[in-house]
Amino acid sequence: MQGYSNLGKRGVNSSCSCPTHLTYGTIDLHIRKLRAIFHSAGRQGEWQSALYLGNPASSDEVKSYLKAVTAEQIKVGKTPKQAVPLFLPKLHTISRHINSKITVPENKGTDLYVLARDQAVLKVLFFGGDRGSDLGMVKTSEILRFPSDGLLFNHVWWKSLQDGSSNMFGIRRYPNPYVCPVAAIESYVAVCQKLEIDISRGYLFRTTNSEGDIVDKPLVGNTIQQRLKHYFKEMNADEGESVHSLRAGCAITLALSGAQLADVMGHVG
């Protein structure tokens, strides 16, 4: 193995019979998606194999497999590709693009809901530093409004912090209305009220089914990714960003603004 010429190389096609694997970052992402799916189906908590209770994707076997794959790939020098960070100027551009679509009279019903939802989701992801799959699991009951015009989110991370605590982060009103996450959520709520969609309970951000109906099910990270790429394609502005780019941009922006490293890590987990 140590003498293998393609050891640790990226993008190399080989005709040998050596087994290939997804990167450990991709495997971790798939495991988190599975945890979210089981959680939405009522399979919550740690997996108890003796009783067949809890979330199977949280089992010790799954955790051990991910740990082993991670150690193996790090040993041979295979590391996951880092996300291209997305900063405020591009968030501003995307926001203006979505807003121009919201104001089109032909966009009604589900189309209007999806646009208002995406507008709010992207801004909260940037300013909150949350993961897309985690934000999609937020329920309205987990949100509090600050008297000083902000919002507090409190929910459990799928990938927990090092001390095992729940994820709590706040967002405040931003001076620029085109990127303000609080204003975006207020607009989203107004659209829901206009369309008579009750979000006073259940999931804050919801998905649509194959018939185009809005259903009280969590918005998954893959859907957010597809929507982000959809807007980039419309704008002809795709530079390789992903949903994680919003989180990366948040962390870098905080660091450049003078925030302490511990505070940045605490904010984005």
SS3 assignment for the chain? CCCCCCCCCCCCCCCCCCCCCCCHHHHHHHHHHHHHHHHHCCCCCCCECCCCECCHHHCHHHHHHHHHHHHHHHHCCCCCCCCCCCCHHHHHHHHHHHHHHHCCCCCCHHHHHHHHHHHHHHHHHHHHCCCHHHHCCCEHHHEEEECCCEEEEEECCCCCCCCCCCEEEEEECCCCCCCCHHHHHHHHHHHHHHCCCCCCCCECCEEECCCCCEEEEECCHHHHHHHHHHHHHHHCCCCCCCHHHHHHHHHHHHHHCCCCHHHHHHHHC
Span 88-268: which CATH code? 1.10.443.10
Q: Averaged over 187-204, what is the pLDDT?
A: 94
Residue 2 has pLDDT above 80, yes or no: no
Residue 241 has pLDDT above 80, yes or no: yes
**pLDDT tens per residue, range 123-155:** 999 998 888 878 888 889 888 888 778 888 876
pLDDT for 224 equals: 93
Residue 258 has pLDDT above 90, yes or no: no
Share of residues in the chain with pLDDT > 70 (%): 83
Residue 161 has pLDDT above 50, yes or no: no
pLDDT for 33 equals: 77
Tell me the chain's radius of gyration from C-alpha atoms: 20
**pLDDT tens per residue, range 93-134:** 999 999 999 988 888 899 999 999 999 999 999 998 888 878
Angle between helices 221-235 and 88-102 (to 10 degrees): 80
Residue 79 has pLDDT above 70, yes or no: no
Among 64-78, 148-162, 183-197, 228-242, the minimum mean pLDDT is found in 148-162
**pLDDT level of residue 262 (50, 70, 90 thresholds):** confident
pLDDT for 179 equals: 92
Q: Averaged over 3-12, what is the pLDDT?
A: 55
The single-letter code of the amino acid at 83 is A
Q: Which two tokens stand for residue 128?
A: 């909150």
Residue 44 has pLDDT above 50, yes or no: yes
The single-letter code of the amino acid at 123 is K
Residue 231 has pLDDT above 90, yes or no: yes
Query: Which range has highest mean pLDDT (39-43, 160-164, 223-227, 246-250)?
Result: 223-227
- Name, in order, each residue with C-beta under 8 angstroms of 218's C-beta and a sequence gap of 6 or more: 36, 40, 136, 137, 203, 205, 206, 207
pLDDT for 7 equals: 56
Residue 177 has pLDDT above 50, yes or no: yes
On average, the pLDDT of the chain sits at: 82
Residue 196 has pLDDT above 90, yes or no: yes
**pLDDT level of residue 165 (50, 70, 90 thresholds):** very low
- The whole-angstrom separation of Cα 70 and Cα 6 is 19
**Where in the chain is CATH 1.10.443.10?**
88-268
pLDDT for 12 equals: 55
pLDDT for 136 equals: 86
pLDDT for 215 equals: 93
According to DSSP, the residues that pair with 218 across neighbouring strands are 206
